[in-house]
Amino acid sequence: MATTALTGFSMMSLLSLGYLTWDLMSPNQVENEPNQSFMDRSPVPQPPHIIFIMTDDQGFNDIGYHSSDIRTPVLDKLAADGVKLENYYIQPICTPSRSQLITGYQIHTGLQHSIIRPRQPSCLPFDQVTLPQRLQELGYSTHMVGKWHLGFYKKECLPTRRGFDTYFGSLTGSVNYYTYDSCDGPGLCGFDLHEGESVAWGQKGKYSTHLYTQRVRKILATNDPQSQPLFIFLSFQAVHTPLQSPREYIYPYRGLENVARRKYAAMVSAVDEAVRNITYALRKYGYYQNSVIIFSTDNGGQPLSGGSNWPLRGRKGTYWEGGIRGLGFVHSPLLRKKRRVSKALVHITDWYPTLVGLAGGNESLTEGLDGYNVWDAISEGKESPRLEILHNIDPMYNHARSGSLQKGYGIWNTAIQASIRAGDWKLLTGDPGYGDWIPPQMLPGFPGGWWNLERHTEPRKSVWLFNISGDPYERYDLSEQRPDVVKELLARLAYYNRTAVPVRYPSEDPRADPHLNGGAWVPWVGDEEEDSWDSVYQKKNMDWKKKLKLSKSRAFFRRLNTRIMSNRI
């Protein structure tokens, strides 16, 4: 059960599946694959194999079924035969999205402010049971391939200590796609590719999208689908900067005159091919009929680096729809109702309880999480349990100069960056970030370029209200026309903030310098060394888990108030 509840609105119907027939292999196939095939074995195991595929910085307009200039035939086919999630929300930057996927918590991890820098002594809280740990308890073999970006200052922070049986990938937020060098400032560069808890020096020169795909195929080839269910978290580095791809993927986009967009589109095509080869491997080795494939991006696209969120407002790093409206779909033979587009409300925290439930876990394993089990809404099209989404409350972000408690009707200080979605309504306070709409340039002299056709800087504002269902592009601010709705949603922000965990954002530690650690980014703090958090937002508060229990005891009255409020707004 989640701790959120609000206006009566429905959630989302998701998935559907198609029986793919792509046999083509190419650059990302497994080298020296075993000849063993498990196709003919009979009893179908339960629970299902779960393959969660996440891309990095892929914008709303960066997939074939939303875009006119990027071709993704495989992703389009999987989504069309499954359930497209067209009201799916993520976080605006990497670390918060990934932490919320892995923990099922929103503002209860301390990681809601920003990304974890390579030299910061921070990672997922040690007292929280992760999604892969829960799946291990339920009998799953768990594997992660790709980008971690959830901290590594101690060995206890590493993926293999947080629930994954195997790990192959990069620990920091951005690396070179071929050399795996990662820099955190001038002269602060190091190698970042890891096999388990060791540095994988021997893999230089191989394109990461291909390398990660080969590893997933190898995992599928060397496991028996009938003996143990698999959970594979494939976290592509693509399509994050730097913009790099093999030349053959660029050629089909030679007509795009914007160089960044051309390279970006090529990287998306490489991901599309990778998903084709993984799906083929699922069928070849006997996993497909009892599998659930989930596709998600981690945040909105960055137009300055080739991405596009058009026609949504804003970009990566903002709380406008372009920063937090995610690409997502579910594809599975196990779906009851397939080939659908779902407008139901879903958040990235919902995957934790949904997948634990799908794996056979009972509700006690996910009690108190911020996410909801949305499988029935996805598979059967039933009403979703989610009625609202707290996008974030960030007390550390630069406060809006024009914001104040007075402007928040004495309920909420509108200088604080925060955002909440309740049914049709979305409220933003503080500084939501860059708020332009950035479409493909159609003016003469700028073919294929990107341009800000509109500028809505409004420096004196600190409150915005939109009817997102009727105005998904956030063009009509209704905060002055509907102060009643504003007050209700400000009260919800204040309600959520009572249980927020203080932000963990420690100062950078010079001991992390790769030059002091053999030339690689590796853990640099001993597990016995105590943490001392400085540069941390402090908030005197009773234990948040106790507060959650107290909040649950008021659940009946909260839900009653929710229904009354939904009638008013």
**Domains, the chain, ordered by start:** 49-336 (3.40.720.10), 390-503+537-568 (3.30.1120.10)
Q: For residue 261, which of 67, 28, 92, 65 has the smallest C-alpha distance? A: 67
Position 137 scores a pLDDT of: 97
Helix (H) or strand (E) holding 99: helix 94-103
Cα(292)–Cα(16) distance, rounded to whole angstroms? 9
Nearest-10 crossing angle of helices 351-358, 94-103: 30
Q: Is pLDDT at 8 greater than 80 in this prediction?
A: no
For the segment 146-161, the average pLDDT, to the nearest whole number, is 98
Position 528 scores a pLDDT of: 78
| 212 close to 232: Cβ distance less than 8 angstroms | no
Cβ contacts of 415 within 8 Å, gap of 6 or more: 399, 400, 401, 402, 403, 404, 429, 430, 462
Active site positions, annotated? 94, 149
Cα(274)–Cα(325) distance, rounded to whole angstroms? 24
Q: Is pLDDT at 175 greater than 50 in this prediction?
A: yes
Q: Could you tell me which residue, 68 or 479, shows the higher pLDDT?
A: 479
- 3-state DSSP call for residue 443? coil
For the segment 395-418, the average pLDDT, to the nearest whole number, is 87
Query: Does pTM top 0.75 for this prediction?
Result: yes
Q: Is pLDDT at 455 greater than 50 in this prediction?
A: yes
Q: Say which amino acid occupies 412.
A: W
Cα(197)–Cα(327) distance, rounded to whole angstroms? 32
Query: Tokens in use for 250?
Result: 């660029």
Most confident of 239-243, 432-436, 543-547, 565-569: 239-243
Q: Is pLDDT at 81 greater than 80 in this prediction?
A: yes
Position 198 scores a pLDDT of: 97
Helix (H) or strand (E) holding 85: strand 83-85
Q: Could you tell me which residue, 395 or 330, shows the higher pLDDT?
A: 330
Give residue for tokens 């993926």. Answer: 159
Residue 440 has φ and ψ, to the nearest 5°, of -60, 140
Give residue for tokens 């599975």. Answer: 332
- 304 CA to centre of own chain: 20
Position 399 scores a pLDDT of: 81
Q: What is the mean pLDDT of the chain?
A: 86
Position 446 scores a pLDDT of: 52
Separate counts of helices (H) and strands (E) for the chain: 12, 18
Position 168 scores a pLDDT of: 99
DSSP codes of every residue in 337-391: S-SEEE--BEEGGGHHHHHHHHTT--GGGGTT-SS---HHHHHT-PPPS--EEEE
Q: Is pLDDT at 302 greater than 50 in this prediction?
A: yes
Position 439 scores a pLDDT of: 80
Report the range of poorest mean pLDDT among 33-37, 355-359, 508-512: 33-37
Report residue 67's pLDDT band, with 50, 70 and 90 as the boundaries. confident
Please confirm whether the linkage preceding 506 is cis (ω < 30° from 0). Answer: no
Residue 466 has φ and ψ, to the nearest 5°, of -130, 145
Position 16 scores a pLDDT of: 35
Q: Is pLDDT at 543 greater than 60 in this prediction?
A: no
Helix (H) or strand (E) holding 548: helix 544-553
Q: Could you tell me which residue, 22 or 303, shows the higher pLDDT?
A: 303
SS3 content of the chain, % helix, strand, coil (to 5): 30, 15, 55
Q: For residue 3, which of 489, 370, 497, 498 has the smallest C-alpha distance? A: 370
